[in-house]
Amino acid sequence: MSVPQRPPAPGHIALVGAGPGDAELLTLKAARLLAEADVVVYDALVSSDVLALASPQAELIDVGKRPGQSIAQDLINVLLVRLARTGRRVVRLKGGDPFVFGRGGEEAVALAAEGIACEIVPGITSAVAAPAAAGIPVTHRSLAAMFTVVTGHRQHGETPVNWAALAQAGGTIVVLMGVAERGVIADALMAGGMAPDTPVAAIRRATTADQVVGRCRVDQLAVMTVESPATLVIGAVAALNVCELVSGAAYAVG
């Protein structure tokens, strides 16, 4: 007589934001879940300092998307489902905030479709942390009453960014994943009416000891030397550096 097999446990995954790079900018919940995790599935933008907070016994699985090395999102979704059903404590670790261009929403939907619970742990997005680390407030009463966060990376068939509308809207524009297309972006913004002398800042490895900040005008952005990944800040506030205004004291985010 055969014994009926029980269905596998539905499982559970924590979808965790790793912040912009500095491990001290993690939330307390994120740090606790990392320390308790049996498996950590992490992206390319997660810093080594953040990964170091994971349990020494945890299995670390790199699914980061890099130039010439990309794992399809569908395969990542399948991996997460399989790991959750093992009954182990799984942390899906994403740079910045999982729901700000991190495909966290897609993964949460894929898990829900399989009946798997997903705990969402927000992180500090580089859209605000990178400018802050460079001394740039994304809003300023005299300069910018709003800021827009937009991706510079669009693929065929995806909704294009209306750069002309952003040029007319005013305020601050923060571009994530836009380094490769920076010349196209600059041309589109100027074609939409943005002044060629609009300040631009590019922040790479924000909040870490390797942080690099470059500044130029929007009409110089195409030829500006900047490596990916970096956060682009476009607007009047990009000319500011409040760090330099702090007399006799070091200033740092966090």
Q: What integer pLDDT is reported at residue 244 of this predicted model?
A: 77
Tokens encoding 237: 């506030």
Task: Give 203: exposed, middle or buried? Use CB within 10 Å, 0-12, 13-18, 19+.
Answer: buried
Asked whether 228 and 182 are in contact (CB, 8 A), the reply is no
Question: What DSSP designation does 247 have?
Answer: T
- Look up residue 70 and give its two tokens: 């990309």
Whether 94 and 205 map to the same domain: the answer is no
- Find the catalytic residue in 29, 38, 49, 177: 177
Residue 113 lies in a domain: yes
What's the whole-number mean pLDDT along residues 214-224? 97
137 and 37 co-located in one domain: no
The proportion of the chain whose per-residue pLDDT surpasses 90, expressed as a percent, equals 80
Residue 40 domain-assigned? Answer: yes
* 5 in any annotated domain: no
Query: Is 29 annotated as catalytic?
Result: no
Nearest to 153, CA basis, from 180, 174, 173: 180
Task: Indicate if 106 and 160 belong to the same structural domain.
Answer: no
Average pLDDT, stretch 96-108? Answer: 94
Last residue in a domain, options 73, 102, 121: 121
Among 121, 143, 174, the domain-final residue is: 121
- Give the residue from 121, 145, 180 where a domain finishes: 121
Q: Are 108 and 138 found together in one domain?
A: no
pTM of the model: 0.88
**Are residue 108 and residue 153 in the same domain, yes or no?**
no
- Helix residue ranges per DSSP H, the chain: 28-36, 48-51, 73-84, 104-113, 126-133, 163-169, 182-191
Residue in 43, 97, 194, 224 annotated catalytic: 43
- For residues 88 and 81, give the distance between their C-alpha atoms in angstroms, rounded to a whole number: 12
Q: Is 38 a catalytic residue?
A: no
Residue 43 among the catalytic residues: yes
**pLDDT at site 251:** 43
- In a domain? residue 84: yes
Euclidean distance between the first and the last CA atom of the chain, given in angstroms as a whole number: 64
Domain ranges, residue 49: 12-121
Identified catalytic residue from 38, 65, 187, 219: 65
The CATH number of the domain where 188 resides is what?
3.30.950.10
Q: Is the pLDDT of residue 129 over 70?
A: yes
133 within a domain of the structure (yes/no):
yes
Report residue 176 CA to chain centroid gap.
7
CATH number at residue 53: 3.40.1010.10
Q: How many domains does the chain have?
A: 2
Q: Indicate whether 190 belongs to any domain.
A: yes
55 compared with 71, residue with greater pLDDT: 55
45 in any annotated domain: yes
Within a domain: 1: no
26-35, 90-99, 157-166, range with the lowest pLDDT: 157-166
